[in-house]
Structure 1
Amino acid sequence: MISELGIIVLAGGLSTRMGTDKTRLPWGSTTLLGEMLRKAVLTECGEILVSINRELEESEAHIIEEARSFGRHIQLVPDTIAMKGPLSGLQSALSVGTREAYIVVSADMPWFSFHWLPSWEVHIDAFLQGELLAMVPYVGLQEYEPLAAIYKRSVLDTIQESLEGEDVSMHGVLDKIPYMEMDMIEEAELYSNVNTRLSYKLAKAKSANRERSVPIVTISASQSKSGKTAVATSLINRLSQRGIVVGMVKSDGHGFSMDQEGTDTWKASQAGAKAVAIAGPNGYAMVVHGESMQRQQQLIRLANEMPVDLVLLESRSHGVAPIIEVVRANHNDTRLQQLEDIVAVVTDIDDTLDGNTICEQFSFSDEDMDRLADWILKELL
């Protein structure tokens, strides 16, 4: 039964590639740790342990209190062996746990959920009665995810042995124990984690787009005449070929007119109409005059009202995340300042913009539009 399982949330990793504690990173209205606990307390699992190698900050206290408000006991377990990564956290948590087996999951997996538990209950029952020591998700391409697996407490001896040796990886433990493979290829996204600033930015961008009525990708540049429209139209063409219905919203800081003097709609506007619209057999259009909302809000509102699958928003200074920046050699010294929102660049500069820049972004050339279109569909939607 699922209630016989416990949950161990691993929140004490070294975060060396991120450069800061991943569990504290904002996610929605909480943090990555808070998001995982929100999901954990809704399960039928009988015990929840949080492996963590630091004191919670005062600003984080509400995360634990919120989880406990569901009537669940949340126990924080510090590492007993320092600087050994997630394996030492698992060893500490299993040592104090009272359940026969635990779902062990890393807090840096924002897409993870426990919705699969009911469909795997029969297999879990058989696992608990058998001699295997773990149930490990297989996510395809010869990849297993040991940081989102089910382990029996009896694996402790093997973990202790590994901690005393040189290989302290979770995969090293799997090589030493018998385990059941869980076919989770169709659910592979559940196991995507955020190990770098770039992967975190991409995860936030995908999350924002999934919460929007219509997903948005901004095409932006710090200077005019950079080729934003050329990039946008190339992407529209490629995405349309892939069956995506695309809309485009353009920000114009100089003002615009979509009407001609003397037409009926022009006369209505001159007479004081706040909004005019026209519809015909080939489409419809509407112009709203004098709205007081900020430009960015206007752009988002327009995007949300489009009957499309994806909106490309072209703007120099009013774009929203995720942003693809167009960078040219003749003005590389002037870049956009929205570093946390820039996920990729399109550039004509060779070998100078890559994932190691301060923006931590992917880089594409003007000839890479097919690859960029595929990347958008995979990473931003």
Structure 2
Amino acid sequence: MAAFAGVVLAGGRSSRMGTPKAALEWHGSTLLRRTVGILARATAGPVVVVRAAGQELPALPPRTVVVADPREGKGPVQGIAAGLAALAGQAEAAFISSTDMPFLHPAFVRRVLRVVQGDGADVCLPVARGYPQPLAAAYRTSLAATAERLVKEDRLRPAFLFDECVVQRLDEAALKTDPVLAALDPELDSVLNVNEPADYRAARARPAPEVTVQLFGAVARAAAGPGQAKGPQAVRAATVQEAADGVGLVFDRHVTAALNGDQITRDGTTPLATGDTVFFLSADAGG
């Protein structure tokens, strides 16, 4: 059983946005694809997407688990219950996120999850940018039955769930005692969401994360023409594909990417975050 997993509440059509947030474009991918990818990277466990009944979702990685919210209009506690129940026997705890936090950083996810692993809490609830963040929080999967009971009792606010378990709150100072998080997400943009069209436009206008790209083996040799950089290169990229584009590399079936030296991917929509290093190398034997 994995220690940690992820749950993303996909939501449905937003009256404010005029379209499902999950399908909003994000650097050639979608907001939902990005959030799922960040949680997969940060937890190394399964990721569950909870969708509204009948909701169509954009393309997702093959191992993503999709479950339907069994009751319409019951709010986030229903989604929390469904997501945690889907992870029964698969993980001890899950980071639960809404789909509309485009700057969620893996370092933030790891910082929050460590609390439920090491401090005996049932929930780690960040309090950042002036508000508690129940949809950027960690929950023990054993809370599924409690959350389901609260839904049946029509007690639908996360505060009711928190009343029935051990909650550790982390304010901004506590969150940033993690030096990695403090360095890579000092403003805690991880919890910024996009509720209005103007929020989305402002978020989309921001520069992509700054990452480092390094080429190895046959890929490096092929790029070693006149004027080509030989060492690490800093680029702005929100996905592996954008990182490849940033150094003029054709990211095709002959090329593999390794994120920070360990997580291997050949999916160009894999999301990147500030501080990542992307190693590109030949996917062919002997590369």
Q: When the two structures are superposed, what TM-score results if normalisation uses the length of structure 2?
A: 0.60
Superposed displacement of residue 139, structure 1: 0.6
The residue that corresponds to 2:118 in the other structure is: 126
The residue that corresponds to 2:124 in the other structure is: 135
Assess, with a 3 A threshold, how the Cα gap between structure 1 residues 167 and 118 changes in structure 2: closer, same or farther: closer
Superposed displacement of residue 194, structure 1: 1.0
CA distance in 2, matches of 1:211, 1:11: 23
The residue that corresponds to 2:256 in the other structure is: none
- Superposed CA offset, 1:82-106 (max 9, x none): 2212222221121121212111111
Deviates more, 1:41-50 or 1:115-124: 115-124
Query: In the alignment, is residue 94 of structure 1 matched against residue 84 of structure 2?
Result: yes
- Superposed CA offset, 1:254-282 (max 9, x none): xxxxxxxxxxxxxxxxxxxxxxxxxxxxx
CA distance in 2, matches of 1:50, 1:133: 21
Q: Which aligned runs of 4 or more in structure 1 are off by greater than 6 angstroms?
A: none
Preserved contact between residue 6 and residue 40 of structure 2 (Cα < 8 Å): no
In structure 2, the gaps of 5 or more residues are 174-185, 211-287
CA distance in 1, matches of 2:162, 2:44: 24
CA distance in 2, matches of 1:16, 1:169: 21
Please, which of 132, 146, 157 is the counterpart of residue 158 of structure 1? 146
CA distance in 1, matches of 2:15, 2:34: 21
Residue identity in the other structure for 2:76: P
Query: In the alignment, is residue 78 of structure 1 matched against residue 78 of structure 2?
Result: no
Q: SS at the partner of 2:168?
A: strand
RMSD: 2.8
Assess, with a 3 A threshold, how the Cα gap between structure 1 residues 14 and 90 changes in structure 2: closer, same or farther: farther
CA distance in 1, matches of 2:132, 2:14: 21
CA distance in 1, matches of 2:23, 2:97: 16
The residue that corresponds to 1:30 in the other structure is: 29
Superposed displacement of residue 156, structure 1: 2.2
Q: SS at the partner of 1:151?
A: strand
Taking the TM superposition and a 5 Å limit, the aligned residue runs for 1:100-115 are 100-115=92-107
Taking the TM superposition and a 5 Å limit, the aligned residue runs for 1:1-381 are 3-13=2-12, 15-55=14-54, 57=56, 60=58, 63-64=59-60, 67-68=61-62, 73-97=63-87, 98-117=90-109, 123-127=115-119, 130=120, 132-141=121-130, 143-184=131-172, 186-205=186-205, 207=206, 210-211=207-208
Greater relative contact order (CA < 8 Å, ≥ 6 in sequence): 2
Assess, with a 3 A threshold, how the Cα gap between structure 1 residues 86 and 117 changes in structure 2: closer, same or farther: closer
The residue that corresponds to 1:314 in the other structure is: none
Preserved contact between residue 139 and residue 187 of structure 1 (Cα < 8 Å): no
CA distance in 1, matches of 2:105, 2:154: 33
Q: SS at the partner of 2:106?
A: coil
Percent of aligned positions that are identical: 26
In structure 1, the gaps of 5 or more residues are 214-381
Superposed displacement of residue 149, structure 1: 0.5
The residue that corresponds to 1:308 in the other structure is: none
CA distance in 2, matches of 1:212, 1:150: 25
Q: When the two structures are superposed, what TM-score results if normalisation uses the length of structure 1?
A: 0.46
Residue identity in the other structure for 2:108: W
Preserved contact between residue 4 and residue 94 of structure 2 (Cα < 8 Å): yes
Q: SS at the partner of 1:116?
A: helix
Residue identity in the other structure for 2:124: M
Superposed displacement of residue 124, structure 1: 4.1
Assess, with a 3 A threshold, how the Cα gap between structure 1 residues 49 and 31 changes in structure 2: closer, same or farther: same
The residue that corresponds to 1:375 in the other structure is: none
Preserved contact between residue 8 and residue 48 of structure 1 (Cα < 8 Å): yes
CA distance in 2, matches of 1:157, 1:190: 29
Assess, with a 3 A threshold, how the Cα gap between structure 1 residues 200 and 120 changes in structure 2: closer, same or farther: closer
Aligned length: 196
Assess, with a 3 A threshold, how the Cα gap between structure 1 residues 41 and 126 changes in structure 2: closer, same or farther: closer
Q: Which has the larger radius of gyration?
A: 1
Preserved contact between residue 13 and residue 85 of structure 1 (Cα < 8 Å): no
CA distance in 1, matches of 2:137, 2:192: 14
Q: SS at the partner of 1:17?
A: coil
Preserved contact between residue 53 and residue 70 of structure 2 (Cα < 8 Å): no
Residue identity in the other structure for 1:198: A
Q: SS at the partner of 1:82?
A: coil
- Superposed CA offset, 1:275-325 (max 9, x none): xxxxxxxxxxxxxxxxxxxxxxxxxxxxxxxxxxxxxxxxxxxxxxxxxxx
Preserved contact between residue 13 and residue 86 of structure 1 (Cα < 8 Å): no
